[in-house]
Chains A and B, each alone.
Chain A
Amino acid sequence: MSNMWSIIHKFGSPPWFYDFTQRWLRWLLPITVLLLLAGSVWGLLFAPPDFRQGNSYRIIFIHVPAAVVALAGYYALAFAGLVSLVWKIKMADTAMRAIAPIGAALTFIALATGSIWGKPTWGAWWVWDARITSMLLLLFLYLGVMALFEAYENRATAAKACAVLSLVGTVNIPIIYKSVDWWYSLHQPASIKFTGESAIDASMLYPLLLNIGAFYLLFAVVVMLNMRAELLSDYRTASWLQQRLGGQP
């Protein structure tokens, strides 16, 4: 526990964070891109076609990773909010501001790819099934946080408000997911079932897992990139930053 606290404390220091990301992003970003390419090429060209869905199932290799990381991202958002509220660490505010639009973008990818997947597979651009509907509500949750950030003029207060909202959202996510699940199963139209009920073959599982890992990594990388950009803007008069950029104190 004290180890986690010391980690949070280190990340809470802007100069430490700046140096950390300077060292790590240099090779984390290319590695992430490579992993994404590897997983996508594997899934697109090397995994066998599905027995029922043919080739359209290949969208799964981006749809599922995007959806998984989008949901995890909201929990990351709420965790940052908790750290900000309880320990009043400003870097947590920066993290929240970075995470929200990224999570929204990933949710959008999940929805768009899910919709595109639906057309050749089930004949419709939009199917109100439990997962897609839950993703749509997750998008609303993200958009709400983003809009709340914009609406407050004072940035510190904005972060506090968004922390409260995202924590309320976290409590509600299981309830929303379950209620949508029951809503869907009550009205289940005949024989529309997503893959995932049947066991997934290893030749499809491995590229999927690879891409899920790659998306998680990408999420971390993009969050760090955004936090760095914000540090460069917020601390432009700070001596520690000017030193690192070659200025004389």
Chain B
Amino acid sequence: MPPDSPSLPLASFLRRQFKRHWHGALRKPGDTFNPLLFYLMVVTLFPLGLGPDPEVLATLAPGLLWVVALLATLTVAGKLFASDYADGSLEQLMLAPHPLYLAAMAEILVHWVMAGLTLALASPLFAVMLKLPSQAIPSLVFSLLLGTWSLSLIAGIGAALTVGLRRGGALLSLIILPFMVPVLIFGASAVREAANGYDAASWLALLGAYALMATVLTPVAIAAGLRISVDN
């Protein structure tokens, strides 16, 4: 819409962005199921590689479940902002009277629902396959809910900086990997503590704190990155 017409109220604008990305995601179910499929494949490979001993798997399960979640996030991180960059919508959004970072957050929210929320909800299945003690499953789900949100935000920074580049995929993974490490450590520790019968609350609190901080701070970097990519 032309930039000087009476502007759409912010809430309607965001709702429209959300719906646009939501329908876009529904049209491409692969984007949702690829991370899940990837997760299933890797969870199958690990026992094949490590041996079927349930005690060994149980010891490794917290870390494995979290590392695979991180890798699954990386596989779809490159899709963020890509279609909007390709068809010029990003430039339109930059001209819109509403803050760019909010529009970007709408897309990240859809991305998270498709890639992170589904992973968290499907994780009990994978936990059972890797012999995670059942007392740790609630912590697993909760840590993945908080953690994948942080990971999606971090992926947003990487995607914003690399969306205009050829072969940006591997580069994206490289530049965001260190930022994902704290989330991995907090998440895996939470699940491990719960698996060993201790209280995971402090680790989950750290995850929550990180998620809050990321929610507040990453939009600045994401909007800056998007502007740089479009200007390139």
Contacts and interface: CB of A to CB of B under 8 A. Distances in A.
A182 interface: yes
A180 interface: yes
Q: How large is the interface on B (under 10, 10 to 19, 20 to 34, 35 or more residues)?
A: 20 to 34
Interface string B113-150: 00000000000000000000000000000000000000
Interface in A184-201: 186
Interface in B148-193: 157, 161-162, 165, 167-168, 171, 174-175, 177-179, 181-182, 185-186, 189
B71 interface: no
Contacts of B177: 140, 144
A165 B161 contact: yes
Contact of A151 (B168, B182, B225): B168
**Interface of B: prevailing SS:** helix
A140 B174 contact: yes
Interface residues of A, number: 31
Contact of B161 (A140, A141, A161, A183): A161
A34 interface: no
A171 B182 contact: no
Nearest to B218: A168
Given A147-B175, A175-B210, 13 more contacts: A138-B178, A143-B174, A151-B168, A152-B232, A157-B231, A157-B232, A161-B161, A164-B224, A164-B225, A165-B175, A169-B178, A169-B179, A176-B178
Interface of B: 157, 161-162, 165, 167-168, 171, 174-175, 177-179, 181-182, 185-186, 189, 206, 210, 217, 221, 224-225, 228-229, 231-232
